[in-house]
Every structure is written in C-alpha cells, then in structure tokens.
Amino acid sequence: MPAEVGFFGAMLVGFLGGTHCVGMCGGIVGALTFGLPGEARQGWRGLWPFLAAYNSARLLAYTAAGALMGGVGLLGASLMPMHQAQLGLQALAGVFMIALGLYIAGWWQGLARVERLGGHLWRRIEPLGRRLMPVRTPRQAFLLGFLWGWLPCGLVYSVLIWAMAAGGPAEGALLLLGFGLGTLPNLLLMGVFAVQLGRFMRKAWVRATGGGLVVLFGVYTLALSFGGLPGV
C-alpha cells in the first residue's frame, strides 16, 4: 500500500473512530477541561493553548509508538522473505481493522480484551499523570498529553498493528501521525462541546455508520494483501 494511501487511510480511520474516542476519552477531556484555571475556561481563546498542548503531545506519543512498531515489523520481515512478511502483516492489520469497526459499531466487544492487556502498562504510567493534575500551565498539559497517548485503546492498538506492515520506522510514524490527525476534530470539539458531542456520538446510527466504514476499510486492506499473493 503506498505511503500516502496509508496516511490518509489512517486519518480516515481516526476520524471515523471518533465514536470510540468520545466514549474512551470524553471523560478525560471533560475532567481536564473543567480542572483548568477559571480564566482558561472563559471561551475558546483561553482554552486553546491547553488543548493544543494536550493534543500535540498525544500525537507525538502516537508517532513515537508508530515508529517503534514500524521498526519491529521491519525487523520481523528481515527474518523471512520481505514480500511475504509484509503481506502477512497487512492481512493481520486488515483483520484488526474489521475487528475495530465491529467494536466501534457496538456489534462485537473482542477488542476490549486487548485494551485490558494494555492496562498493565497503563497502571505504571497513570500515577505519573496524577502528579500533573490539576493542570495549571500549558507545559503541564503537554506532559499529560504525552502520557495520555499511551492510554490503553483498541483503536490505537489496531493502527499500531497496521504500522508493523508499513515498511519501517518512518512509515510507521507517518501512519500513526495520520491517525492522530484524524482524531483531532472530535477531541478538540470535545474540549469545548463535550456534553453535546458525546450525546450525538453515542447515537446507535452514528456508531454503526462509523464502525461500518472502518469494517469496509479493513476488508479493502485484507483484499490488498491477498491480491499480492502469488496466483491471486
């Protein structure tokens, strides 16, 4: 899959996964927003430096994780025929995309088990976040946002599996950056319209639409991997 297709595809997945982001991160965004100094909550202008710091650091964490997983995938591919390894990883990514779409739509909760596995890492990181609260400066917001990027999330984990098939650290980093940029509209709006957006995103038809489109993207990714096999 060309890098630019992967980048924009990951961005689309991040955007469509907004239904999951609201459920997973809505409470966090609300708590961070309402815990800010009074002057920072007096409209968009006061809130913006904190939201920018949270989210730029979150994207940095995603990009670092993408580079790491891209490197792992490249290392694994070096141990077997490169083309076959990349197709196998791409097929795995497609399966995870389908699982993710079903999860977002509320049709299957299997990825919740994957999130629970990530909880072991989060239990070590979360105490560091507590020391940064309540947030009083954009610097604190940046540090907290970087920790937030490691929150156990089936959505992120699925894209990280995809990053393993991207071709290397740079490609994996680009993929996760695209995904992070796709999540921005929902998470930025949550900082200002958390309650209203949360109600809308919890509607069954919104979740079904977003999840269904991610499933289709997973099927497309899976088809690409099988299409690259000899004789297919």
The model's pLDDT over 151-210, given as tens digits with 9 standing for 90+, comes to: 777 778 888 888 988 888 999 999 999 999 988 877 776 655 554 555 666 677 877 887
The reported pLDDT for the residue numbered 18 is: 65
The reported pLDDT for the residue numbered 1 is: 55
Q: Which residue, among 141, 113, 153, 147, has the nearest Cα to 23 in the 3D structure? A: 153
Q: Does the pLDDT value for residue 33 go beyond 80?
A: no
Average pLDDT over the chain, rounded to whole? 77
The reported pLDDT for the residue numbered 57 is: 92
State yes or no: cis peptide before 2, omega within 30 of 0: no
- The rounded distance, in Å, linking the Cα atoms of 107 and 204 is 11
Q: What is the number of helices (H) and of strands (E) in the chain? A: 9, 0
Average pLDDT over residues 138-143: 88
Q: Which residue, among 84, 78, 89, has the nearest Cα to 158 in the 3D structure? A: 89
Highest mean pLDDT pick, 22-36, 63-77, 123-137: 63-77
The reported pLDDT for the residue numbered 214 is: 82
Average pLDDT over residues 46-50: 77
The reported pLDDT for the residue numbered 221 is: 81
Question: What percentage of the chain carries pLDDT values higher than 70?
Answer: 70
Q: Which residue, among 19, 21, 8, 14, has the nearest Cα to 210 in the 3D structure? A: 19
- In one letter, which amino acid is 183? T
Tell me the pLDDT band of 26, cut-offs 50, 70 and 90: low
Say which DSSP state 39 is in: G
Asked whether 18 and 200 are in contact (CB, 8 A), the reply is no
Asked whether 30 and 193 are in contact (CB, 8 A), the reply is no
pTM of the model: 0.76
- Exposed e or buried b per residue across 79-110, where buried means at least 16 C-beta atoms within 10 angstroms of its C-beta: eeeeeebbbbbbbbbbbbbbbbbbbbbeeeee
Question: Domain residue spans in the chain?
Answer: 3-227
Question: What percentage of the chain carries pLDDT values higher than 90?
Answer: 12
* Residue bearing the bigger pLDDT, 138 or 43: 138
- In one letter, which amino acid is 57? A
* Residue bearing the bigger pLDDT, 88 or 37: 88
Give the phi and the psi of residue 2 in degrees, each rounded to 5: -55, 150
Highest mean pLDDT pick, 14-18, 57-61, 137-141: 57-61
- The rounded distance, in Å, linking the Cα atoms of 30 and 73 is 36
- The rounded distance, in Å, linking the Cα atoms of 176 and 207 is 22
Query: The tokens of 174 are what?
Result: 């680009």
The reported pLDDT for the residue numbered 229 is: 47
Q: Does the pLDDT value for residue 75 go beyond 80?
A: yes
